[in-house]
Amino acid sequence: MGTRIAGAPVPQRPARLLTGVYALATFVALVLTVLARRRPHPLLGEEVFGLLNVPVAPTVVSVVVLALATRALLGRKRIGLWFVAAFQVLGIYVGLVALAPGLRLPFTRMWESRGDLGRGLDVVAMGVAAVALWRLWRIRHDFTGRLQRGSWWLALGALLTGAGATLGLAWLLLGAVGAPASQVETLVGTVLEAFGGVGRRALVRVPEWVVEVVAASAGLTIIAAVLLFLASSRPRSRWSPDREVALRRLLARHGADDSLGYFATRRDKASVFSPDGRAAVTYRVVAGVSLASSDPVGHPDSWQGAIEAWRAEAREFGWVPAVLGASERGARAYAAAGRMRVLLLGDEAVLDPARFDVRRTSMSPVRHAVRRAARAGVVVRVRRQHEIGPGELAEIADRAEAWRAGETERGFSMALGRAADPADGDVLHVTAHAVHGAQPGGGGDLVGVLSLVPWGRSGASLDVMRRSPDAPNGVTELMVTELMQRCAQLGLRRISLNFCMFRAVFEDAERIGSGSLTRVGASVLGLLDRFWQLERLYRSNERYAPAWQPRFLCYDDAVSLPQVAFAAGAVEGFLPWPSRSPAGIDLDADHLAQIASATDEPVDPESCSPRRTEQVRHRIATLDRMRAAGFEAYPAGATTVLTTPIGDLPGAGATAERLSVVGRVRDLRDHGGVAFVTLVEGADAIQVVLEAARMGRPCLDAFTSFADVGDLVRVDGATGVSRSGTPSLLATTWRMEAKALHPLPFRSFEDPTARARQRTTDLLVHPRDVALLRRRSAVVASIRRTLGDAGFLEVETPMLHTVHGGASARPFRTFSNAYGIDLSLRIAPELHLKRLLVAGLGPVFELGRNFRNEGADATHNPEFTSLEVYQPHADYTTMRDLTERLVKAAARSVHGREVIPLPNADTVRAGTDGVALVDVSGEWPVVKVLDAVSAAVGRRITLDTDMDVLLGLAGEHGIALRPEMRAGAVIEELYAELVEPATLHPTFYTDFPVETSPLTRSHRTEAGLVERWDLVVAGMEVGTAYSELTDPVDQRARLTEQSLRAAAGDLEAMEVDEDFLHALELGMPPSGGLGIGVDRLVMLLTNTPIRAVLTFPFVRPLPECGADREVGVAWS
């Protein structure tokens, strides 16, 4: 069943409840009519609904009356309330009959058969009726649906005619069967029994078939009268040339938002625009349903207004609102603005030309079909409609219609419904021709055609797909393939093919272990495929390997879903329904010219600008005034001007000298003839005094008029003091270096999320963070200097890999349009650096970015900087000594000596203030991993320790394990959870299990271990090093095992890199390898979280701006 989007308002509950009661009553009456035989006493269902004064009875007339009342209530038509009120009044009358059996009211004998229980319920129903009439009066404002003008007279005429015919028929039938037809009560009783309101004992016996015939006649009379009465009004917003022009203007600006947008120009659709005219909803009224198609057209900020206007019109005319084929974004808009439920309908097949490659194994059926069609002499032409002559265009339209062979035209949300229209010059036609030996460019017999409408400026959406019955096999595949190959020259980046209803059912049914209900559903849809081509359409599109984009059905209430489903099936051609064809409706030359100009006009940049806050708008106005006055707000730099940093200005008492300084305005105080300004540059600040007597009144007035807090200004003047003795710069001239359009919140910018999102503002307002970045730069420079002095060569290796490897981690995936292959971002540069060792480059290192598609926390970031160092003829002990030198040198570059802040494990990393700097100049301890884990768990742990013991230890300490973990992986998990966090001073943990280190050399003396160490400081791993594995046979076996784990679903396992293995098989010298996380090293030395040491930490983008959201931040 459909879901309601979180945050969407709920419709009027009383109206929904009332409609639901009558819908249920209709269903119960139908069941009773079909299954229950006539009985002398009311059935249970009749009694229950009789208590509510809902006329449920086992008759056709009851079903018809209730169904029509439900229909009126669904459309929120006021007449539906009148129906309900009439039933309540009738209930009061019946109650009066029960209360006064001696009172001779008309036809009181009709209810004598109900018995004491029935009469008691009738009395209770009087109270229900009174309450119901009061509630109906209270909710009358929810039922505003209007009737079609003149429907009263049409319905009255039909009712009188049908009633007369029914009474006459009853009179004749009663006479024919010998009943006392002269008795009016017998006649009326027969009619009432047909309605289900009279027991058999109350009447002279009449054959049942007479009652059924009278009931059928009465039912037909009611149906005709009520349908005429409830007939939907024709939309006042029907298609018109001006409306189509307005829609096309919206499509020209926002047509790229929805692949189905162009189909809004169908001429059998009405349209409702938002109050500002920037968006519209297009729809068609079918069976009392106002059925909108796809997303609103136009600016998303105005979608809400268009949806509300469409729903208001539906309420006014009593239509049931629904949406067919909305995208996920559109469905959310309808659910939020229109209080609608959302149901997945199917998926749209979208092709990416950059990824479309028939050479792929998965597309072998398409490739073979293309070859068959090409060998049969079929050639394909791809042209815009305005490039095709009128004669050929008419032939294409006629052939496409003829190939339809009289079948019902399918499509509403994804069909244009017209051909060869002069307004559709940008429609793309792909035609297939059987040349039969003629020249390829010379035409030939037309055997296939694809027509695609524009999808913005860089896409196309399928409208018509037809082929001749005599066409060679593979014509359609050839047309699609040729189109995809020519997308680049056509400027197309995406192609929308067919919409496949219930695609997920077919896909899920193919999976191993799919549920029984899923398979049954797929089987049922497979049977319907004979008529509606549901599965065949899915199969024909799946072969092109599209990206499936979901499409949704939006509706108000579950009660309305059957009516909405019927309307959707009717407009899509699955169910028969009469329709007025829009054929023959053409635009005149004037409107065609307007469409051409709307399509060709350039996009106004202002229309794409975000909404600004009041402060930003004020600053933009100031900028305009500056330019009007001849002041340059963003001047070019001057190479001859010597600028003095604010931090280098002479202090108080120094000899006055003329200087030029640049800074941002933090404070500005205007006292008329003098202004005091505080300029800041990083953490340094200076007061500037601007006096009219010194710099001239016009210059001072220009500053106070144009300068704002946050502006970058240059001030020339002499050092001195103010009248109060404050050291100041006494200004003589000034100029704007850069006008700030956003204010800088120097005193109110502490929210962590806002600081991360607006990193530039954060660095301007908090210069301490700038100092952190400078320390980071010092650490990087120290690393390069230390390695360079040791004779290491810095190299650069690729960041885009065809095979992910070098470490066990989940990669980021991307796609190369140039080469048409999938790539992954670098996890580690290790394999390429080792290939350079084989090539003889000697000691090498690389400082660069790595990417791992994993979680982010205080010590991890998906994008990070690492150092990897490789030294031939060395081992992990050599690299341990090198690591000590690197870290100690980095500490000296930050703190001036070999010290590191070592806070407790529970201490929040918030800088070095108040944290002891511990001397680390001595030799650092070395501990074996098995010894460290043994100490942490309180018992001896070896590689031979029973697996159950290891699992028990993990369970005791609440450590989660994956099912595929072996003993070595469990030991390392115990190490990571118990040893690392408890380590404070710099410690090397050595000799890890081989299972978790597939690129590391086995230990020389201890089986099952590898020569690897991890450097842990303050509970955090800072670096790791190996004695590198150089045996190519062993390395291939380990990588193959990793690859098998990847094939089994391990997202972090490495793949086999044949290029690396080939290099290794050439002979790699025994080597030591080292890796250090630079981000973590800076975190360690500065005692800050990882986001503080990143220049621009990643922040999840904000949702797209809505109508009520402004760009710019107002600071108090």
Could you read off the pLDDT of 675-686 as tens digits, one per residue? Answer: 899 998 888 888
What proportion of the chain, given as a percentage, has pLDDT over 90? 16
Residue 312's nearest CA partner among 277, 343, 274 is 274
| Distance between CA atoms of residues 279 and 296, nearest Å | 7
Residues making up the chain, counted from first to last: 1116
Number of CB atoms found within 10 A of residue 774's CB: 11
Backbone angles phi, psi at 612, to 5 degrees: -105, 150
Q: How confident is the model at residue 108 (pLDDT cuts 50, 70, 90)?
A: very low
Residue 201 has pLDDT above 50, yes or no: no
List residues bridging with 861 in a β-sheet: none
What number is the average pLDDT over the span 1028-1054? 75
Residue 1111's nearest CA partner among 422, 301, 359 is 301
Residue 1074 has pLDDT above 90, yes or no: yes
Number of CB atoms found within 10 A of residue 588's CB: 9
Residue 864 has pLDDT above 70, yes or no: yes
Label the pairing between strands 297-298 and 279-286. antiparallel
DSSP state of 1002: B
Q: Which helix (H) or strand (E) holds 701?
A: helix 697-706
Most confident of 40-54, 369-383, 437-451: 369-383
What proportion of the chain, given as a percentage, has pLDDT over 70? 73
1015 token code pair:
């450097």
Could you read off the pLDDT of 690-709 as tens digits, one per residue? Answer: 988 888 899 999 998 999 99
From residue 869, give the alpha-carbon distance in Å to each of 231, 874, 1020, 1074.
81, 11, 20, 5
Could you read off the pLDDT of 906-959 as tens digits, one per residue? Answer: 666 676 676 778 898 889 999 999 999 999 888 898 888 888 888 888 888 888
| Distance between CA atoms of residues 572 and 415, nearest Å | 9
Could you read off the pLDDT of 980-1006 as tens digits, one per residue? Answer: 988 889 999 999 998 877 668 888 888
Superfamily of segment(s) 353-492? Gcn5-related N-acetyltransferase (GNAT) (3.40.630.30)
What number is the average pLDDT over the span 870-898? 93
Residue 169 has pLDDT above 90, yes or no: no
873 token code pair:
């003829």
| Residues 618, 621, 623: CA angle, nearest 5 degrees | 115
**Domain 614-744, classified CATH 3.40.50.261, yes or no:** no
Amino acid at 277: G
Amino acid at 287: A
Q: Please report, for the chain, the start and end positions of each structural domain, with discontinuous segments joined by +.
A: 9-230, 353-492, 614-744, 771-925+985-1093
Strand (E) positions, 533-578? 547-555
Secondary structure (3-state) at 196: coil
pLDDT the model gives residue 1073: 92
Could you read off the pLDDT of 115-164 as tens digits, one per residue? Answer: 455 566 666 767 777 777 777 777 766 666 665 555 555 666 666 776 67
Burial class (CB within 10 angstroms; exposed 0-12, middle 13-18, buried 19+) of 883: buried
**CATH topology identical between 353-492 and 614-744:** no
| Distance between CA atoms of residues 1108 and 1099, nearest Å | 23
Helix extents (H) in 75-150: 78-99, 115-138
Could you read off the pLDDT of 252-267 as tens digits, one per residue? Answer: 888 788 888 888 888 8
pLDDT the model gives residue 1108: 38
Amino acid at 810: R
Label the pairing between strands 378-384 and 428-434. antiparallel
Enter the CATH code of domain 771-925+985-1093: 3.30.930.10
